[in-house]
Structure 1
Amino acid sequence: MIFSHILVPFDGSELSLKSLNKAIEFAKLNETIKISVLHVITFPVKRGPESLYSQVKGMIVEYGNETIEKASVILADIPNQFEVFVKEGSAQHTILQQAKELNCDLIIMGSRGLSGFKEFLGSVSHSISQHSTIPVLLIK
C-alpha cells in the first residue's frame, strides 16, 4: 500500500471538494486507508467592542462546523475510517502540524482555496508543497 493516512484540508471550495473526492478514490483501493479532513479557521485581530468580536468569532466557528459537516456527509458512504475536525490557526502552520501529529503520509489539497489570492502573496498550497516533509498532491 502506498499511503495509509491521507490529510485533506477542506474549505468548502470546488477544489477542496475535488481533493476530497480524490482522497476517496485512493481510499476505495484499500479499506485500511484512513482519511482525515481538516478545516482551519482564523480569527481576525481583535478590534472594537468585545460583544461584536465574540459574535464574529461565533459566526466563524459556526461556518467552520457547517463546512466540515459537508465533508462528513460525503465520507459517510465509504467503509474506510475517517475523521473530520476544525482547528484554529494559520492555515499553513496548522495543516503541516496536523499532518505531522496525525502521522499522515499524504496531503491532498486544492491548488487554491476560497481566498483567491493565489500566488500574489504566496498561496497556502504553495507554502504546504514547499515545507511539507510528506508528499502533497495538488488538485487543479
Structure 2
Amino acid sequence: MEIKKIAVAVDESEGSKRALELAAALAAPNPAIHLDLVYVVPIPLLDESQTASFKDILDMMIADGEGVLADMEEEMGEAVVDRTDTLLLTGTNPATEIIKLLEQRDYDMVVIGSRGLSGLKEYMGSVSHKVLNGSPVPVLIAK
C-alpha cells in the first residue's frame, strides 16, 4: 500500500502531539506524502435562539481552533511543513466529523492520538476508539 495522503487529527492533548510527531516522521523521508492537520470545534446541539446567543462563544472557539492548528503547523519539521494543510471542522461530535472527512476525501490513513483513557471511559468516550471503529481507512493511534 502506497501512502500519499494522511489526515492527522489534532487538539491540545499530549496524544495529539505524539500523533503529529509520528505523522511527520512518516512523511519526512517521502516527498510524495501530504499531511492534513484536522481540528474539530465541538458545537453543542442548539435551537435557533440558543445559536444566536452562542455566536460569540463559537467565534472564540473557532479562533482557538485556528490557534491550535497554527501551533501544530509550527511544530512540523521543515521537511514536511510545505506539504501540510490545515482543516478546521465544526460539529457536535469530533469522531463523527473526522469519519465524515475520511469518507469524503481520498486519504490513505489517519493518525490520531490516544488520550490514555482506560476501562469504560476508553470504550465510551474516546474519539480515537470511535474513529478506529468507523474509519474507512487504516488508523494509526499514537500512544
Q: TM-score scaled to structure 2, two decimals? A: 0.83
Give the total of aligned pairs: 137
Partners of 2:51 and 2:103 in 1: how far apart? 35
Deviation for aligned residue 1:33 = 0.3
Which residue pairs with 2:30 in the alignment? 30
Aligned match for 2:122, one of 119, 124, 128? 119
Deviation for aligned residue 1:52 = 4.3
The reply on whether 1:101 has 2:104 as its aligned counterpart is yes
Alignment check: 8 A CA contact 2:102 2:136 kept: no
Percent identity between the two aligned chains: 26
Structure 1 residues 46-57: aligned runs within 5 Å: 46=46, 52-57=53-58
Which residue pairs with 1:66 in the alignment? 67
Partners of 2:71 and 2:55 in 1: how far apart? 25
Which residue pairs with 2:94 in the alignment? 91
Q: Which amino acid aligns with 1:100?
A: E
Q: Which runs of 4+ in 1 moved over 2 A?
A: 44-52
- Looking at secondary structure, tell me which structure has more helix per residue: 2
Partners of 1:50 and 1:139 in 2: how far apart? 35
The reply on whether 1:15 has 2:15 as its aligned counterpart is yes
Alignment check: 8 A CA contact 2:24 2:77 kept: no
Deviation for aligned residue 1:28 = 1.2
The 3 A distance-change label for structure 1 pair 52 and 123 is same
Deviation for aligned residue 1:76 = 6.1
Structure 1 counterpart SS, 2:35: strand
Alignment check: 8 A CA contact 1:43 1:60 kept: no
Tell me whether 54-63 or 75-84 shows the greater mean CA deviation.
Answer: 75-84
RMSD: 2.3
The 3 A distance-change label for structure 1 pair 50 and 28 is closer
Structure 1: 5+ residue stretches without partners:
none
